[in-house]
Structure 1
Amino acid sequence: MKKTKLLIYLCALIMVFNVAGIKVAATTETNDIIVDFYSVSKSTIYEGTEFTLTVNLKKIGSGTITGTPTLAINPGSFILKDKGSVISINPANLNAGGKETITLPLKCSGTDNVIELIFNYVDGGDSKKAVNKITIDMVKASNNSNENTTTNTKKYNPELQVTNQDIPTARAGSVLNLSLELQNISSHTAKDITVEFIPSKEDGFLYETNKMSMVHKIKQLKAKEKTNLDYSLTILNDSKAKTYTGQLKYTYYNLYGDLKEKTQDIYIKVKKGFPDVNLEIDKIETLPKIIYSGSEAQLSFLVNNNAGLSSVKDIEVSLQGLSGEGFTIANGVNSNKISILPPDSPGKKVTFNLYAADKMTKGSYPIKVKLKYQDNLNNEQIVEKEIYLKVEQKKSNIAIENIKAPSGTITGTNKFKVSFDLVNTSDIDTKDLTVTVKPEEGIVPVSQSVQVLKLLKTGTTKKLEFEFQPTAEAKTKNHLINIEVKGSNEEALTTINQYVGVYVKENDKATNSKPNIIIDSYATEPTIVKAGENFKLNISFNNTHKNKKVQNVKVYLTAEENTSNNSSNNSNDKSGSVFTPVNSSNTFFIDEISPKQSVNKQLTLYTIPYAAAKTHTIKVNLEYEDDKANQYKATELVSVPVIQSSSFITSDINMPEAMSVNQPHTVSLEISNTGKTTLDNFTVAIEGFGSKNSKGYLGNLQSGKTTYHDIELWPTQEGEVKGNLIFSYTKPDGKTEEVKKEIHTMATADLMPEEGEFVDENGKPINIENEINAPKSNMNIIMIVGVISVLLIVLIIILRVIKKKKDMKDDE
């Protein structure tokens, strides 16, 4: 009767399953994964022999393995050492037609020499498994062995091993709670077990235990039995970020009192922590902004502890590396005191008065800032930061004024004088000036042609006079005399050249004097000409003769050849005159010029793009006649200052799409000067982001040169953060050019995981339940809930039938 009831219940259960349409998935066994090759590390294996087994797995089926397949190991009479019995496999090599190599550390413990490998995987959504068996050749121990097998108790060798090998991760300055699962993986019982955890013996790993012993004592673990080992330690702030190797040291006995000792490596990953104290220097300023050699300046900056976690006290700030040939303290003392500096303070401003030595040339000079303070343990700490200060040499401005030369004709070998004033119009004294007069052929100096001025104070004037004499071979023409003023330092004073003309008549019997044409004034619009652009040249021609007019005046201009050595242009492109006329010829005519009168002419000229940045000379050639048709020639010179355009390019600015607040990111820049002139005082500044140094000075960038600059920056608030990289430099005309390039990112809070919470390698929390259930689909969850519901319905029906039968018996 009971059997009949049981059959009825089973039939009902099957009908319910059929009605519900529930399909119970089954794992299909295949031979799509095979052991292609295997080898052992030792040629002879006895009971107790330790060796390694290397297995090559190969996929021969046509499907694609998805998810994370596993390899389950049934070792038979062998013991797996330091490895779990289930291993995760990377399917990439198998799907690509390659092989996956697995190495298993084993120990022989019996006579069953067959190892079973079960490969569980998902192919096309179906669960499958492939079973492979490997036979290991073993040799039985000789009967002549010196050890009596009936009394050898050491062969009952238990094996202990921690099976969860995930690498724990903790940030320096946080608590690491470590929970390890210890299992007796052998078939023999272990007793009197002692497990000592040694976190690491490597340099850089600093920790303290949290009232929890690093030694666990366990009375006994039977075969396959498990227990938990819990450890807690605080990883100190000064620990270096890296993965450290710790050890579990085992000491235990088998049931017969035989001792065994072994160790097992445990890995701990430490991420960079937040320091208690992190002093930084920010907002470096000088007054004046440009420090000139031989003058005083005030240096100020902020000292902050914004990146630290606790306040710092008794800070002493001083400057290092001062010397008589560089920066020295002008007045006051080389020390500033800060009593306390909390992390939330914007910083404390300190100021030093400096003097830049006279001999300092143009450039960027380093100064070390020494920060000495007391830490939380009242220990003295020293931090040194390096800053750079830019030094310029003041420009001298010397003018040649009031030039006086003979306006009439110098006849024969009569002596004459030329005088002029040197005026110091700059705001600094100028030293060691050399003034040289250089007359052209036919004129010789009678007085000394070189005069040296040791000092020309600012705002003062020095009158100089030189005496000349024509030679007997002097030709009748306008002779030029070059006045050159040169300083001892080209950076402080650019060499000045000024020309003055005197008319000399040959010593002959001619009764009629020669009329002379000179350029009495000229000017360019603009005053400084840009290469590659047009400009206007205004010239005034003056007939210096008292009573003779000049006529049929032919004027033609000759510009000097380009001497640019810019390597970016080939030699053919660089040839040709620096200046060319626009919409006209370089030759023009003037009908006549009356005595002592001037005629003005305006020309439009074009400057070639690759002209050298300097003062260029235009030769003005004159051919004319007097009123008696006598023909003459003359030459005048016009100086035109030319500057080159400036430009630069940078490499792509790579900013992450997302960043964490206050987490630094390094932007590496490659900056190339693509212009034809030097970019002076090149700086890179940061706007809208936090940075250790918001402004970096790169110095002078030569034409065609490339430099590199790294910027460490971070967002200071959550949300969309926009800012700029600001590039600035001084152009050849002395003006400052500024270029901005926008940078942006999305900033998120740098969240720390709660105690006991798992984090990934980036420090983000991991939901363990989601990770476990991730491979399962929503359909599988619905099927499981459906099956449970049907089982509950069937159970209720069975209980009601039983109750009804019981009630009927009671009625009988």
Structure 2
Amino acid sequence: MKNKILFIALLVVGCVFADIQITSYSVLPTTLKPGVTGSASITVYNPSSTTVNGVVIYQGGEQFTFTSNRVQLGDIGPLGSTVVAIPFVIKNNVAPGVYTLRLDAFWTEGSEAKTKVFSIPISVSNPPIFKFEFTPIGEVTPGQSFKVKGQLKNEGGDAKQITLSVNSSYFFFDKLSQLPIGNLGAGESMPIELSLVASTSAQPGLQSIPLTATYNDPLGAIQQATILITPVNVMKNYVDFSINAAAEKGVITPGSKTKFFVNLTNIGNSNAYSAKVSISSASAYFTSIGSYERYFEILPPNLEKQIEFEIGVSGSAPAGYYPITVTVSYLNMNGESQTPVQKQVGVEVGGAPQISITPNTNPSPLTSGKLYTLSLQFSNTGDIDIRALEATLSSDYFEILDSPYSYIGSLNVDDYTSTQYKIYSKQGLKPGSYPIQVNMKFKDAYNVEHTQTKEVMLEVVSLETAALTQKPAEMNPFGLAIIILAVLAVLYLVYKKYFKKKVSR
């Protein structure tokens, strides 16, 4: 019981004569650096049983400036407390470290003046401020590797032994977990190239890539800061192909073969894997010479490929256009088969129409100033049928006495037909070759209209040459009969006059 009374007595004495106390404090902001305004909030407590009067706190410290050199708290009653804020500004030239904010308290207790000094530790730091200026990033697809190039600037304090890591579920460094980049002093910058990979589960849309920069501050403490790469446009994976194909020969003749070129471009944004390119035709007139398939392990975006095939055409193939189907089948990045891409390309079978004209005259040869029958034989020597053939004759050296226009009609390949015209060789033509123009108009097997002009050369000779080469004119049957009858009549008269008289004698 005596011990308890003694403890209470000592406590009372201690309370009576105790000095004021700072029971708690806080400093804002939590990170203080040179040039920054801060504030220390303190709780001042009077543990005594009497009132303390006229409490004044003077603040000081070489690293700080103050708007006022003191703060007046006034009177604090027994066991009372009050909270007061001490504003300050950290000087610009203060190096990072821990500094003391000095608080000198003055008050009176009864008739006695008292004073006490308090110290509050203020931690000053100058953390680096990282700014990453990078070249805009193009579209990124899930699973794609890409690079980010730029300049990393430090607009804050020194940072040493900087290491970068990616703090994301959708992006990560390519073949690295961390990227050491060294030291970066205040106001310095360095070029950086980051090799990154987008996860196959990256969501389409505008994304950000948060980087964590781990570094040592000037006091040797390990600190971290966040660097944000934004925006990153993640596009949905897709594969598509631009297919252009053509035969080496513009027109393939029946019974021949030709190279067939397929120009293939992946115009999507993702790789096509285990790609197979094949050609086929629904027509029995076409066949592939050699393999009709080509294989590629990977067809990346924007890659252009020219693929060569060889096809043959049956000799019995009619003229016309035939479809060749190009098919591209492939797997996506997950190894899944995708819907094949197909395109049909028209191939022309046929050829250029060609007409030859062979002249013949009766009689022959020709001399000037006479009438003749001109026979023109039109032959289809091309490799395509023609129809609606019509011909018109004109000449400066021969007069066309019949209608110069003739409708001939259809001519299949290797067919021919003849037309005849009455012509007159003009007077005064000297021996030599003279042309007759034959203007032709016709349609081919594809109903395409053509016009051709050919010159038929006729040879004119002199009368003397014609006499040497002229064949005797053939006698017609009626004239021959008259001659025979005349001969028989003469023979009869001779018989009657001479032989019959001898018999009667």
TM range (shorter): 0.3 to 0.5
Larger RCO, structure (CA 8 Å, separation 6 or more): 2
Choose 1 or 2 for highest CA Rg.
2
Could you tell me the TM-score, scaled by structure 2's length?
Answer: 0.38
Could you tell me the TM-score, scaled by structure 1's length?
Answer: 0.26
